[in-house]
Amino acid sequence: MEFVHKSVLLEETIENLNIKPNGIYVDGTLGGAGHARVVCSQLSEQGRFIGIDQDEDAIEASTKRLAPFGAKVTIIRDNYCNMKTRIQALGIDGVDGIVLDLGVSSYQLDAVDRGFTYRECAPLDMRMDKRQTRTAKDIVNEYSEMELFRIIRDYGEDKFAKNIAKHIVQARAVKPIETTEELNEIIKAAIPVKVRMNGGHPSKKTYQAIRIELNHELEVLNNSLDDMIDLLNPGGRLCVITFHSLEDRLVKTIFKRNENPCTCPPSFPVCTCGKKPKGTVITRKPIVPQEKELEENPRSKSSKLRVFEKK
């Protein structure tokens, strides 16, 4: 199966990157190289592009797709949280733009054996980096009822989290939960019929929660954005595309803090904390997909783009 991923908010992201032909650009979630290909096509021979991804299938696909751009492209298999050290190891002190397209790629959802999808029967996996030993199956079978409740409530934002956690624990006492199909049945039983009739797929929120927990998605994002802002050259931009409210809230908060880091009480006539703004939030409101994109790619529905410019 070919690694295909329709890049969300592509034009809007490219436009907000303000690409300079001789600049250095980084994509921390390279995927199928959708954004990357457009960035590379706008770079001169002096320009440079670095793509980072932890998924080996993404690395393989993007290496092929970016081959025509030759020596200006460097591809690294790693988690984007190590971006700063990996970029500096290349002898680069500052970059002109960074892109993060968070969430799961269409390829990962459609490759049944990866276990990200609740629409097909597959082993419970959900690892974004297959070098990791722990899988979704381990979380489902080993976490306590309280831990399961916490992640489904906090990361899945599911109001039936308590009942779902209870049903999982009851089911695994009989036999380990191995597949997406088994988990789907358990979740279905925990949600009232009336809600199931009107809502989306009953498993969607629980799968999101397990995936976030397994891949430490919010933790990684929270620990990486300040480093990325520090990595930008003056006028450089960081473009982040999120797919659910938890990520979006985190990006919004961190961008705001970098724009206005002063911790002095409002009553102080002058700032004494000495914390200086690092730049400006370009997007007062997040950029969302246009009607045309929503029609062509329904998966873009919940996407939001936020942009920060370094001072």
123-147 mean pLDDT: 97
Q: Pick from 196, 214, 232: which residue ends a domain?
A: 214
Mean pLDDT check: name the lowest of 5-9, 22-26, 51-55, 88-92. Answer: 5-9
Do 197 and 244 share a structural domain? no
Do 16 and 102 share a structural domain? yes
Query: Are residues 245 and 196 part of one domain?
Result: no
Q: How confident is the model at residue 107 (pLDDT cuts 50, 70, 90)?
A: confident
Residue range 241-264, pLDDT digits in tens: 999 999 999 999 999 999 999 999
d(CA 69, CA 53): 18
Does residue 145 sit in the same domain as residue 209? yes
d(CA 294, CA 10): 13
CA distances for 301 relative to 9, 100, 242, 243, 296, angstroms: 10, 17, 11, 8, 11
Whether the per-residue pLDDT at 4 is higher than 60: the answer is no
- ∠ CA 293-222-81, nearest 5°, is 85
pLDDT of residue 311: 97
Has residue 123 been placed in a domain?
no
Q: Which residues contact 41 (CB under 8 A, 6 or more apart)?
A: 69
User: In terms of Cα–Cα distance, which of 218, 228, 221 is closest to 83?
Assistant: 228
What's the pLDDT score for residue 2?
Answer: 59
Residue 197 has pLDDT above 90, yes or no: no
Question: Is position 119 within any domain?
Answer: no
Residues 162 and 34 reside in one and the same domain = no
Residue-by-residue DSSP string for 212-253: HHHTTHHHHHHHHHHHHHHHEEEEEEEEEEESSHHHHHHHHH
Domain end residue (candidates: 156, 189, 214): 214
CA distance 90 to 88: 5
Inform me whether the pLDDT recorded for 158 exceeds 60: yes
CATH number at residue 189: 1.10.150.170
Number of domains within the chain:
2
CATH code assigned at 259? 3.40.50.150
- Would you say residue 116 lies in a domain? no
Q: Is residue 81 part of a domain?
A: yes
> Which residue range(s) make up the domain with 161?
130-214
Query: Is the model's pLDDT at 1 over the cut of 70?
Result: no
According to the model, what pLDDT value does residue 15 have? 98
User: 214, 239, 254: which is the final residue of a domain?
Assistant: 214
Does the residue 114 lie in any domain?
no
Residue at 256 is within a domain? yes
In 3D space, the residue among 231, 236, 254, 238 whose CA is nearest the CA of residue 311 turns out to be 236
My answer on whether 99 and 223 are in the same domain is: yes
Give 282 or 298, the one with higher predicted confidence: 282
Q: Is residue 201 part of a domain?
A: yes
Same domain, 292 and 305: yes
pLDDT at residue 177 tops 90: yes
Instruction: Assess whether 103 and 223 both reside in one domain.
Output: yes
Q: Which amino acid is at 125?
A: D
290 domain-assigned: yes
Q: Are residues 156 and 20 in the same domain?
A: no
> Is the pLDDT assigned to residue 125 strictly greater than 90?
yes
296 and 277 share one domain? yes
What amino acid occupies position 243?
F
Identify whether the C-beta of residue 52 lies closer than 8 Å to the C-beta of residue 23.
Answer: no
Residue 186 shares a structural domain with residue 231: no
Residues 235 and 207 grouped into a single domain: no
Rounded to an integer, the average pLDDT of 132-141 is 98
